[in-house]
Structure 1
Amino acid sequence: MTKVANQRERSPREARDTAELAALLRNLKDRSGLTYRALEETAARRGDVLPRSTLATVLNGRGLPRPELLAAFVRACGDGARVDEWLDARARIAGRTPEPVDRPPAPVRPAPEPDAPTGPDEPDPDVPVATAGSAAGPPGQRPRRSWRRTVMFAVPVLAAALIGLWLVAAPGGTEEDRDTGDRTATATAQPNPTTLPPNGYVRLRPVSAPRLCLTDGRLIDGRYTPLVAVQDSCDSVAPQSTTLEPLGGDSFRIVWHHPDYGKGCLKALAEGTGRGLLEPWDECALGSRFHVELSGPPGGNTFVLRVDGQGCVGIKGGSTALGAEAVMGRCTAADHQIFVIERI
């Protein structure tokens, strides 16, 4: 393991508060010489879960890391012999008894604090984006997240000014769009309530499998361990809730809310083993901008979800099976790329 020279090894006993603990953790990461991606991969090889999406939050000192996340981070940095010392420091700062960590942690994706900054404190050139999720289950098995309570969240309301916005599409789309063939039609000149999706809490149902809804889950083949967008029975989605956060015109963020993991915005991954998948990120400012384009007559409820330069969201292979993943692909207007968006 590569170590960064001239950095003093500091004891977690030095930490007096959350900010100082975060500073020590940053020091530990620097001494390890590992990137966010390398830390996540090192943890996975040990059977730990260390989602990159939460590392920036932890290292920024925006909150105490959960005990299992702290232990996984310390082990991945090569300081496993002092895990108990780190956990003692965390418990001391939290003002309670240390929580035992003696097995690979359960799925965890902590929610960001409401007033937290939106960007990571330490950009890592080796990591294009931060992933969210938790440990993979046995191959072929797709564990479900455990919900304990229902939480209501404030839902952005579309401003009346949207009616007056004009979207002018460049002829033929951008060069990147033309290369990927991801435009199905010219952008609407004047969005209005008959061409926009409903606001409030919604469900997204693929036309190819109308009894199923987009929700979170893990890949059946286990090739990518974090939670991603899959299709599952609409009856199994609750109490997870979905909203569309307006960004102007026909652009929206797809936002998932749930009591244990908080708010996550879907990101269309552009590279790595998760390329083409949709993953919920804690840092919503990094989430993808989806063009939600009407796929039928005005006033209808079927839409195409397109991301500039990456194509359209669809169910892989047009599968109607439970757990089939949503993927980005060349826009074809096939049923598996068209979604019913209905208000709940």
Structure 2
Amino acid sequence: MTKVANQRERSPREARDTAELAALLRDLKERSGLTYRALEEAAARRGDVLPRSTLAAVLGGRGLPRPELLAAFVRACGEGSRVDEWLEARARIAGRPADRPPAPVRDASAEPGDTPSGPEPDPEPATAAPGAASGGPPEQRPRPVRRRLPVYAIPALAAVLIGLSALAVVASDDETARAEDPPAVSGPPPASLPPDGYVRLRPVSAPQFCLTDGRVTDGRYTPLVAVQDLCSTVTPQATTLESLGGDSYRIVWHHPDYGKGCLKVLTEGTGRGLLEPWDDCTRSSRFHAELSGPPGGNTFVLRVDGQGCVGIRDGSPDAGAEAVMGRCTAADHQIFVIDPI
């Protein structure tokens, strides 16, 4: 697909929120002509740290970049002279004074326009405790009220007192024993569901791999499909499970370049049985995430009604092996560890 160039270069001053700032950062990446790997390497040559996985999240608009990350990205894109402009835009959106990034380590490959800046204070935490923003004390919570046990009157007669005290001791011991017993749990334990948010899908047969996009190894089908590859190489693509109620989910891929795609099990043609990301999520497949193991575990079978279970072709241990839909066998290559990220 041919990309259309922007009619004019937009200034970061035009960004009004996190999403617009992310869009401008994607434009900056396009103009640089560099891949994620090349940007990471360019940053490293300047003494900056620019992880591809973190950069993908920033360009996807999942949150404001840290000042030092934003500065490293702008420098890696070859616009070191405009770092302050980008930082001011970030600070305006964040609603706080502009932070300055730490000065990069200079080397022969540094650009003339890169100007070292002052030291960077420690980055603020993602969520501050109540009162921390104003520098005041944390919000005071009311102290819990302890209820006192009522004190009962004791009969005056010594004989009656002794008898009642003995009975009270026996009754007290019995009540204490019953109170210390754990409450009875009736019925079966609740079924475990996959974690919310961004996840990794790793086949139990090869847990170093994650499901990601790739090409069919024999070339019989050319579009991108689901394959297994090293988890360290799947970024910038990210995966979420979109709940459809109960144990039913869409498997959704998010990519800063390709956008959102939902996995669809192909039922005909040369791609039959493969899982392909579709732009129209309403036509994608509904996957049942069924727990495989004890309650509270994180291993699941991904089953599609009337079609079978997702697995790795022939249980292959190789990178690039396709995910396919087949008869449910409960083999390791049809069981997936679902980890939160």
Larger Rg: 2
Q: Identify which of structures 1 and 2 has the higher relative contact order when contacts are C-alpha pairs closer than 8 Å and 6+ apart.
A: 1
Give the TM-score, by structure 1 length: 0.47
Give the TM-score, by structure 2 length: 0.47
